[in-house]
């Protein structure tokens, strides 16, 4: 009976949900075009199309599109998809509506390990960054959940969120401490520290892509386990879900996705918090739809925030991590104040 309940409702809604996902992809495509057109030098869509179809290395507009806008846009799409999926998974596996890789300190832990590796071990390659990001993300997740589980109430949503916020602040302080005492590292990563899509070339995308593909596969494969875990461990076992293996799969997916996204773009908060909540309003709690929707809507939000940052501060620009924090902080406060979120 439970198995029928978990499958019958999505079947009735499959057509409208599929149409909504297609519309989301269309909106993401428009955001991609806008991301390649908007900037310190605005380019009309026809100039972008000409650069894509008839690339001329001597044409300054074509150089801007290929050397600056395309890598920036691809990093936004990939990092956004990774953060959206990670947020949906971490909220589902912890059954915590306040969970977000940024708020829980996972991204900050990854960035701390990357900066420490650069400063202390001289690591300079994207591939090296990723492994240290995995280490930092994993250690941060274990630390936050361990501290948040202390006490009689165990791991309540508010305790986990507060513990994550405290750890995130501590990780950021340590990261800043390393950077201000190492001028070379600070100059190289002062924009990366706040979360940015600019200043990366296409080699970042090619080096990160294998890790992201692995993370996407792990994340989408965890949908059935997340649906079972959402009903409680006993019900999940009754539905044939191996609880331990399901949680391990989810944790591995979050570490890979958050570590790679942080290595690419720095610690970007609130995308993984906001987008799964918005997607859940459309899909309901079924992770077979929630995960693909989060994967499509998160890069849409991240690219939109990046474009807003370019427009508001011309001729300079606001880094995308600052814009997402300005948008996401009120959302986080509203979620905390909801009556059903209790400590």
Q: In the chain, what are the domain boundaries?
A: 58-336
pLDDT higher at 335 or 146: 146
CB atoms within 10 A of CB 326: 14
Say which range, 69-73, 155-159, 272-276, has the weakest mean pLDDT: 155-159
**pLDDT of 24 above 90:** yes
Split at pLDDT 50, 70, 90, the class of 302 is very high
| DSSP helix/strand/coil, 198 | coil
pLDDT digits (tens, 9 = 90+) for 128-173: 778 888 888 888 888 888 887 787 766 666 777 788 888 888 888 8
Split at pLDDT 50, 70, 90, the class of 247 is confident
**pLDDT of 221 above 70:** yes
**pLDDT of 290 above 80:** yes
Burial category of 120 from C-beta neighbours within 10 Å (exposed 0-12, middle 13-18, buried 19 and up): exposed
Mean pLDDT, residues 118-136: 80
| DSSP helix/strand/coil, 226 | helix
What is the structure's pLDDT at 185? 66
- The chain-wide mean pLDDT, for the chain, equals 82
Q: How far apart are CA 39 and CA 286, in angstroms?
A: 38
What is the structure's pLDDT at 343? 43
Ordered alpha helix ranges (H), the chain: 2-12, 14-37, 45-53, 60-63, 70-94, 106-121, 126-148, 157-180, 183-189, 202-221, 223-229, 233-238, 243-265, 271-283, 287-312, 320-337
With left for phi above 0 and alpha for psi between -120 and 50, is residue 195 left, alpha or beta?
Answer: left
What is the structure's pLDDT at 51? 87
What is the structure's pLDDT at 153? 67
Q: How far apart are CA 227 and CA 316, in angstroms?
A: 45
Q: Which residue has the tokens 């791991």?
A: 155
- Most confident option among 59-68, 196-205, 294-303: 294-303
CA angle 343, 249, 163 (to 5 degrees): 25
pTM of the full predicted structure?
0.82
**pLDDT of 1 above 60:** no
pLDDT higher at 35 or 312: 35
Split at pLDDT 50, 70, 90, the class of 194 is low
* Phi, psi (degrees; rounded to nearest 5) at 58: -85, -10
What is the structure's pLDDT at 299? 95
What is the structure's pLDDT at 4? 43
Q: Does domain 58-336 have CATH number 1.20.5.510?
A: no
Q: Residue 269, Cα to own-chain centre: how many angstroms?
A: 8
| Angle at which helices 14-37 and 70-94 cross, to 10° | 140
Split at pLDDT 50, 70, 90, the class of 296 is very high
Q: Which residue has the tokens 């591939």?
A: 127
Q: How far apart are CA 91 and CA 33, in angstroms?
A: 31
């Amino acid at each position: 009976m439970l198995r029928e309940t978990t499958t019958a409702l999505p079947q009735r809604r499959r057509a409208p949900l599929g149409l909504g996902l297609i519309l989301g992809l269309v909106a993401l495509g428009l955001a991609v075009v806008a991301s390649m057109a908007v900037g310190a030098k605005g380019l009309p869509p026809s100039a972008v199309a000409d650069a894509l179809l008839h690339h001329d290395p001597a044409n300054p507009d074509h150089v801007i599109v290929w050397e600056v806008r395309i890598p920036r846009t691809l990093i936004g799409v990939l990092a956004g998809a990774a953060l959206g999926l990670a947020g949906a998974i971490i909220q589902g596996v912890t059954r915590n509506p306040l969970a977000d890789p940024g708020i829980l300190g996972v991204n900050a832990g990854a960035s701390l390990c990357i900066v420490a590796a650069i400063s202390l071990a001289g690591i300079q390659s994207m591939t090296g960054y990723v492994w240290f990001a995995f280490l930092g993300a994993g250690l941060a997740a274990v630390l936050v959940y361990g501290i948040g589980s202390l006490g009689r109430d165990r791991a309540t949503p508010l305790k986990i969120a507060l513990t994550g916020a405290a750890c995130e602040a501590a990780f950021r302080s340590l990261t800043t401490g390393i950077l201000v005492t190492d001028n070379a590292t600070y100059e190289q990563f002062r924009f990366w520290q706040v979360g940015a899509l600019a200043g990366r070339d296409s080699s970042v995308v090619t080096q990160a892509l294998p890790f992201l593909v692995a993370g996407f596969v792990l994340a989408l494969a965890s949908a059935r386990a997340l649906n079972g875990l959402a009903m409680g461990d006993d019900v999940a076992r009754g539905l044939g879900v191996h609880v331990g293996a399901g949680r391990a799969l989810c944790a591995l997916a979050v570490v890979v996705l958050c570590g790679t996204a942080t290595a690419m773009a720095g610690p970007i908060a609130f995308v993984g918090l906001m987008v799964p909540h918005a997607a859940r309003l459309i899909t309901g709690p079924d992770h077979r739809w929630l995960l693909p929707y989060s994967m499509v809507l998160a890069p849409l939000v991240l690219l939109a925030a990046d474009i807003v940052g370019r427009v508001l501060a011309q001729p300079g620009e606001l880094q995308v991590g600052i814009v997402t924090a300005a948008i996401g902080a009120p959302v986080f406060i509203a979620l905390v104040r909801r009556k059903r979120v209790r400590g």
